[in-house]
Amino acid sequence: MTSARMPTFFLSHGGGPWPFMDGPWRDRCAWLERSLVDIPQHLPQRPSAVLVVSGHWEEPEFTVSSGEHPGMEYDYYGFPQEMYSIRYPAPGSPGLAQRTQQLLAQAGWDAKSDAQRGFDHGTFSLMKVMYPDADVPVVQLSLKATLDPDEHFRAGEAIAPLRDEGVLVIGSGLSYHNLRAFGPAGEQPSASFDAWLRTVMGEPDPRKRRQQLAHWQQAPGARASHPREDHLLPLHVVAGAAGDEPATCVYGELFAGALAVSSWRFSTDTEPSSFDRRAFAS
């Protein structure tokens, strides 16, 4: 049976282990949570597996997690002690890891695999909400430590065939990620960068979209929003995997009342999202 082509997503993943928490930290992610719960309902089919390009994993070469039963990477600090024993027990998929590595190698990358790599919070924070039963296999793909936009775009092009094989490809990051200005100080730069991102994502010519993403540092508020590009580059990977397909905003708000953030779906299906509070923002 032939699989329907899966969309690709760039998803802002929120902060730390928020889906495992109660109280104010969880509450501030309520709108994000609703948008993530909605995603599986609008896929053409249940994914055979999920490949997450995580902004929390960098390696000298593109690397895929290949363990059958991945553990956890508690890559955050300052949270209650119980947040360092949480589990998201989804299986891995050595087969998908091998297929991803093969596609990258065919495109000229010296791709690696890592059977010990566990789920970091860029992965389990999203998956806990989207698939709470942990019954969909999950594989992670690292960033390449060069953090070169074009390399990540081309890596996305290489793995695009996975979309026709029932695999949901997600880029997990944050459209604004400056922890030193995570509050009112980030209001203006995040608004400027988000406005630029919305213009770029709405560009009907995919060649121009790619060119503008490659030169993202020239955008208003760019470096104030991303002192390091680790949380932005997953977007380049999924945009590469999307090819000519248009982008639709599937989540947008002023996170914590100040920071303009957004998530994006690439697909020929461009139905508007009811979770974009900033759809008509100036």
- Please state whether beta strands 259-266 and 8-12 pair in parallel, antiparallel, or not at all (unpaired): antiparallel
User: Of 6, 29, 51, whose CA–CA distance to 129 is shortest?
Assistant: 29
Backbone angles phi, psi at 133, to 5 degrees: -80, -5
The answer to whether residue 253 sits within a structural domain is: yes
The answer to whether residue 198 sits within a structural domain is: yes
The answer to whether residue 276 sits within a structural domain is: no
The answer to whether residue 225 sits within a structural domain is: yes
Q: What is the pLDDT along the chain (282 residues), one digit of tens a residue?
A: 456 899 999 999 998 999 999 998 899 999 999 999 999 999 999 999 999 999 999 999 999 999 999 999 999 989 999 999 999 999 999 999 999 999 999 999 999 999 999 999 999 999 999 999 999 999 999 999 999 999 999 999 999 999 999 999 999 999 999 988 888 899 999 999 999 999 999 999 999 999 999 999 999 999 999 999 999 999 999 999 999 999 999 999 999 889 999 999 999 886 667 799 876 554
What pLDDT does residue 182 have?
Answer: 86
What CATH number did the domain enclosing 136 receive? 3.40.830.10
How many domains does the chain contain in total?
Answer: 1
Domain that holds residue 144: 8-266
The answer to whether residue 102 sits within a structural domain is: yes
The answer to whether residue 275 sits within a structural domain is: no
Query: Which tokens sit at 263?
Result: 């998530």
The answer to whether residue 244 sits within a structural domain is: yes
pTM of the model: 0.96
The answer to whether residue 271 sits within a structural domain is: no
Cα gap 242→266, rounded to integer Å: 6
